[in-house]
Protein backbone atom coordinates (compact mmCIF):
# COMPACT_ATOMS: atom_id res chain seq x y z
CA UNK A 1 0.00 0.00 0.00
CA UNK A 2 2.50 2.61 1.15
CA UNK A 3 5.05 1.75 -1.55
CA UNK A 4 2.64 3.33 -4.04
CA UNK A 5 1.80 6.26 -1.82
CA UNK A 6 3.47 9.43 -3.07
CA UNK A 7 1.34 12.53 -2.38
CA UNK A 8 2.34 16.09 -3.01
CA UNK A 9 4.59 17.58 -0.33
CA UNK A 10 2.80 18.87 2.73
CA UNK A 11 2.69 22.61 3.18
CA UNK A 12 6.06 23.73 4.48
CA UNK A 13 6.01 26.11 7.41
CA UNK A 14 8.83 27.05 9.72
CA UNK A 15 8.63 27.98 13.38
CA UNK A 16 6.22 25.49 14.89
CA UNK A 17 6.02 23.50 11.65
CA UNK A 18 9.53 22.45 10.60
CA UNK A 19 13.08 23.35 11.63
CA UNK A 20 14.65 26.20 9.62
CA UNK A 21 16.48 25.02 6.51
CA UNK A 22 19.83 26.24 7.85
CA UNK A 23 19.64 23.65 10.65
CA UNK A 24 19.04 20.73 8.27
CA UNK A 25 21.80 18.59 6.78
CA UNK A 26 21.61 16.82 3.42
CA UNK A 27 18.01 17.75 2.65
CA UNK A 28 16.36 20.67 0.83
CA UNK A 29 12.83 21.32 2.03
CA UNK A 30 12.19 23.37 -1.11
CA UNK A 31 12.94 20.39 -3.36
CA UNK A 32 10.01 17.99 -3.48
CA UNK A 33 12.32 15.16 -4.58
CA UNK A 34 13.33 14.90 -0.93
CA UNK A 35 9.72 14.56 0.19
CA UNK A 36 9.16 11.13 1.72
CA UNK A 37 12.29 9.81 0.03
CA UNK A 38 13.32 7.68 3.00
CA UNK A 39 11.62 4.29 3.45
CA UNK A 40 10.50 3.59 6.99
CA UNK A 41 12.66 0.70 8.31
CA UNK A 42 10.77 -2.47 9.24
CA UNK A 43 11.72 -5.92 10.47
CA UNK A 44 10.81 -9.25 8.88
CA UNK A 45 7.38 -9.10 10.56
CA UNK A 46 6.61 -5.75 8.95
CA UNK A 47 6.84 -3.93 12.28
CA UNK A 48 8.59 -0.58 12.38
CA UNK A 49 12.10 -0.35 13.83
CA UNK A 50 11.42 2.66 15.99
CA UNK A 51 14.91 3.53 17.17
CA UNK A 52 16.42 3.14 13.69
CA UNK A 53 13.69 5.40 12.28
CA UNK A 54 14.30 8.06 14.93
CA UNK A 55 18.07 8.01 14.46
CA UNK A 56 17.70 8.27 10.68
CA UNK A 57 15.55 11.40 10.93
CA UNK A 58 17.82 12.95 13.57
CA UNK A 59 20.74 12.47 11.18
CA UNK A 60 19.27 15.23 8.99
CA UNK A 61 19.16 17.76 11.83
CA UNK A 62 22.13 19.79 13.05
CA UNK A 63 23.24 18.85 16.58
CA UNK A 64 23.05 22.56 17.39
CA UNK A 65 19.30 22.74 16.80
CA UNK A 66 16.89 22.68 19.74
CA UNK A 67 13.25 21.82 19.15
CA UNK A 68 10.62 24.38 20.03
CA UNK A 69 8.66 23.53 23.15
CA UNK A 70 5.56 22.13 21.44
CA UNK A 71 4.84 18.43 21.81
CA UNK A 72 2.55 16.07 20.00
CA UNK A 73 1.42 12.44 20.24
CA UNK A 74 3.18 10.66 17.41
CA UNK A 75 1.64 7.47 16.04
CA UNK A 76 4.34 5.18 14.77
CA UNK A 77 1.91 3.72 12.23
CA UNK A 78 0.49 6.21 9.75
CA UNK A 79 -1.29 7.30 7.66
CA UNK A 80 -4.36 7.30 9.93
CA UNK A 81 -6.74 6.47 7.08
CA UNK A 82 -4.91 3.19 6.54
CA UNK A 83 -5.97 2.08 10.01
CA UNK A 84 -9.74 2.60 10.18
CA UNK A 85 -11.70 1.91 13.34
CA UNK A 86 -13.45 -1.45 12.90
CA UNK A 87 -14.23 -2.56 16.48
CA UNK A 88 -16.34 -5.48 15.25
CA UNK A 89 -13.07 -7.11 14.14
CA UNK A 90 -11.85 -7.09 17.77
CA UNK A 91 -8.09 -7.80 17.83
CA UNK A 92 -7.99 -7.50 14.02
CA UNK A 93 -9.25 -3.90 14.28
CA UNK A 94 -6.61 -1.81 12.39
CA UNK A 95 -7.16 1.25 14.58
CA UNK A 96 -6.69 -0.80 17.73
CA UNK A 97 -3.29 -1.89 16.41
CA UNK A 98 -2.34 1.68 15.57
CA UNK A 99 -3.22 2.89 19.06
CA UNK A 100 -1.32 0.28 21.06
CA UNK A 101 0.39 2.31 23.82
CA UNK A 102 3.83 1.09 22.71
CA UNK A 103 3.11 2.44 19.21
CA UNK A 104 2.72 6.04 20.41
CA UNK A 105 5.05 8.61 21.93
CA UNK A 106 5.10 12.26 22.95
CA UNK A 107 7.64 14.01 20.72
CA UNK A 108 8.40 17.59 19.70
CA UNK A 109 5.87 18.68 17.10
CA UNK A 110 8.62 19.86 14.77
CA UNK A 111 10.30 16.46 14.92
CA UNK A 112 7.04 14.70 14.08
CA UNK A 113 6.44 17.02 11.12
CA UNK A 114 9.97 16.45 9.83
CA UNK A 115 9.60 12.68 10.20
CA UNK A 116 6.38 12.73 8.17
CA UNK A 117 7.99 14.97 5.57
CA UNK A 118 11.14 12.88 5.12
CA UNK A 119 9.87 9.31 5.43
CA UNK A 120 7.46 7.17 3.47
CA UNK A 121 4.93 5.41 5.70
CA UNK A 122 5.57 1.72 6.14
CA UNK A 123 3.27 -0.81 4.55
CA UNK A 124 0.40 -1.88 6.78
CA UNK A 125 1.37 -5.14 8.54
CA UNK A 126 -0.68 -8.21 7.71
CA UNK A 127 -3.89 -8.86 9.70
CA UNK A 128 -2.31 -11.75 11.61
CA UNK A 129 0.71 -9.68 12.61
CA UNK A 130 -1.55 -6.86 13.79
CA UNK A 131 -3.74 -9.28 15.76
CA UNK A 132 -0.76 -10.94 17.46
CA UNK A 133 0.63 -7.52 18.37
CA UNK A 134 -2.70 -6.41 19.85
CA UNK A 135 -2.99 -9.66 21.79
CA UNK A 136 0.58 -9.35 23.04
CA UNK A 137 -0.01 -5.78 24.18
CA UNK A 138 -3.26 -6.59 25.97
CA UNK A 139 -1.74 -9.55 27.80
CA UNK A 140 1.39 -7.56 28.70
CA UNK A 141 -0.58 -4.74 30.30
CA UNK A 142 -2.83 -7.12 32.25
CA UNK A 143 0.18 -9.18 33.31
CA UNK A 144 1.99 -6.11 34.56
CA UNK A 145 -1.06 -5.01 36.55
CA UNK A 146 -1.47 -8.44 38.15
CA UNK A 147 2.28 -8.83 38.75
CA UNK A 148 2.32 -5.47 40.53
CA UNK A 149 -0.66 -6.45 42.69
CA UNK A 150 0.95 -9.78 43.57
CA UNK A 151 4.27 -8.19 44.55
CA UNK A 152 2.50 -5.52 46.63
CA UNK A 153 0.41 -8.17 48.41
CA UNK A 154 3.53 -10.20 49.25
CA UNK A 155 5.21 -7.07 50.58
CA UNK A 156 2.19 -6.12 52.73
CA UNK A 157 2.11 -9.66 54.14
CA UNK A 158 5.81 -9.48 55.02
CA UNK A 159 5.40 -6.07 56.67
CA UNK A 160 2.36 -7.25 58.63
CA UNK A 161 4.22 -10.29 59.98
CA UNK A 162 7.03 -8.03 61.14
CA UNK A 163 4.57 -5.63 62.76
CA UNK A 164 2.93 -8.54 64.63
CA UNK A 165 6.35 -9.74 65.78
CA UNK A 166 7.21 -6.22 66.95
CA UNK A 167 3.92 -5.88 68.83
CA UNK A 168 2.67 -3.07 66.61
CA UNK A 169 -0.38 -5.14 65.60
CA UNK A 170 -2.47 -7.22 67.98
CA UNK A 171 -3.76 -10.31 66.09
CA UNK A 172 -7.25 -11.71 66.60
CA UNK A 173 -5.80 -15.04 67.73
CA UNK A 174 -2.55 -15.72 69.59
CA UNK A 175 -0.99 -17.41 66.57
CA UNK A 176 -2.57 -14.99 64.09
CA UNK A 177 -3.88 -18.05 62.23
CA UNK A 178 -7.03 -16.38 60.90
CA UNK A 179 -5.16 -13.48 59.34
CA UNK A 180 -2.41 -15.73 58.01
CA UNK A 181 -4.99 -18.01 56.41
CA UNK A 182 -6.80 -15.07 54.82
CA UNK A 183 -3.60 -13.51 53.47
CA UNK A 184 -2.40 -16.86 52.11
CA UNK A 185 -5.74 -17.40 50.38
CA UNK A 186 -5.58 -13.94 48.82
CA UNK A 187 -2.04 -14.48 47.60
CA UNK A 188 -3.00 -17.84 46.12
CA UNK A 189 -5.80 -16.14 44.18
CA UNK A 190 -3.34 -13.58 42.84
CA UNK A 191 -0.94 -16.29 41.71
CA UNK A 192 -3.72 -18.37 40.13
CA UNK A 193 -4.81 -15.40 38.02
CA UNK A 194 -1.21 -14.52 37.23
CA UNK A 195 -0.41 -18.10 36.13
CA UNK A 196 -3.45 -18.11 33.83
CA UNK A 197 -2.17 -14.90 32.23
CA UNK A 198 1.30 -16.39 31.84
CA UNK A 199 -0.27 -19.25 29.89
CA UNK A 200 -2.01 -16.71 27.64
CA UNK A 201 1.30 -14.93 27.10
CA UNK A 202 3.12 -18.16 26.25
CA UNK A 203 0.40 -19.03 23.73
CA UNK A 204 1.48 -15.97 21.73
CA UNK A 205 4.37 -16.67 19.32
CA UNK A 206 7.62 -15.59 20.97
CA UNK A 207 8.34 -12.93 18.35
CA UNK A 208 5.12 -11.11 19.24
CA UNK A 209 5.35 -11.19 23.03
CA UNK A 210 5.76 -7.78 24.61
CA UNK A 211 7.00 -9.13 27.94
CA UNK A 212 8.84 -12.25 29.02
CA UNK A 213 9.22 -14.08 32.32
CA UNK A 214 7.29 -16.56 34.41
CA UNK A 215 7.26 -14.85 37.82
CA UNK A 216 5.78 -11.49 38.91
CA UNK A 217 9.19 -9.87 39.41
CA UNK A 218 10.43 -11.03 35.98
CA UNK A 219 7.32 -9.72 34.20
CA UNK A 220 7.45 -6.38 36.03
CA UNK A 221 11.14 -6.03 35.15
CA UNK A 222 10.50 -6.95 31.50
CA UNK A 223 7.91 -4.20 31.07
CA UNK A 224 10.07 -1.75 33.03
CA UNK A 225 12.87 -2.40 30.52
CA UNK A 226 10.48 -1.57 27.69
CA UNK A 227 9.53 1.69 29.40
CA UNK A 228 13.21 2.55 29.80
CA UNK A 229 13.81 1.96 26.09
CA UNK A 230 10.91 4.25 25.22
CA UNK A 231 12.29 6.85 27.61
CA UNK A 232 15.71 6.53 25.99
CA UNK A 233 14.19 7.22 22.58
CA UNK A 234 12.40 10.27 24.00
CA UNK A 235 15.67 11.61 25.38
CA UNK A 236 17.44 10.78 22.13
CA UNK A 237 15.02 13.04 20.26
CA UNK A 238 15.33 15.75 22.91
CA UNK A 239 19.12 15.29 22.78
CA UNK A 240 19.33 15.04 26.52
CA UNK A 241 23.01 14.84 27.46
CA UNK A 242 22.67 11.67 29.52
CA UNK A 243 20.57 9.77 26.95
CA UNK A 244 23.38 7.44 25.94
CA UNK A 245 24.14 6.55 29.56
CA UNK A 246 20.51 5.42 30.08
CA UNK A 247 20.33 3.15 27.05
CA UNK A 248 20.80 -0.04 29.02
pLDDT, averaged per 10 consecutive residues of the chain (248 residues), comes to 51 67 91 90 94 92 86 88 94 95 87 92 94 89 72 71 73 61 64 72 83 70 70 69 37
Residue 225 resides in a domain: yes
DSSP states along 24-87: BSS--TT-GGGTT-EEPPB-TTS-B-HHHHHHHHHTTB-TT----S-EEEEESS--GGGS---G
**Same domain flag for 29 and 113:** yes
Q: Tell me which residue range forms the domain holding 209.
A: 129-229
188 and 118, same structural domain? no
Domain-embedded: residue 219: yes
Tens of pLDDT along 194-217?
A: 677 778 877 888 888 877 766 667
User: Considering only CA atoms, which of 147, 166, 149, 157 is closest in space to residue 216?
Assistant: 147
Dist CA 6 CA 122 (whole Å):
12
Q: What is the pLDDT of residues 64-95, one digit of tens each?
A: 898 887 788 889 998 889 999 999 999 999 99
Specify if 155 maps to a domain.
yes
> Residue 245 falls within a domain, yes or no?
no
99 and 207 together in one domain: no
Spatial separation of the C-alpha atoms in residues 41 and 68, rounded to whole Å: 26
Q: Tell me which long-range contacts 41-47 makes (C-beta under 8 A, separation of at least 24).
A: 42/122, 42/123, 45/125, 45/129, 45/207, 45/208, 46/122, 46/123, 46/125, 46/126, 46/129, 47/125, 47/129, 47/133
Is residue 241 in a domain? no
pTM for the structure as a whole = 0.70
Amino acid sequence: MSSLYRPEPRTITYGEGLPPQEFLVGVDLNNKDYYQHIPTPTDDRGLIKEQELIETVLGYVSPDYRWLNYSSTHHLYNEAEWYPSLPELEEYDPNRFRNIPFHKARVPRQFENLLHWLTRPADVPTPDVRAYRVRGSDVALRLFDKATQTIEHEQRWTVRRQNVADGLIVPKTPDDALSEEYLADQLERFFDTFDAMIEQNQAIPAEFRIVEGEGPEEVAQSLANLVRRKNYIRMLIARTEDSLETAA
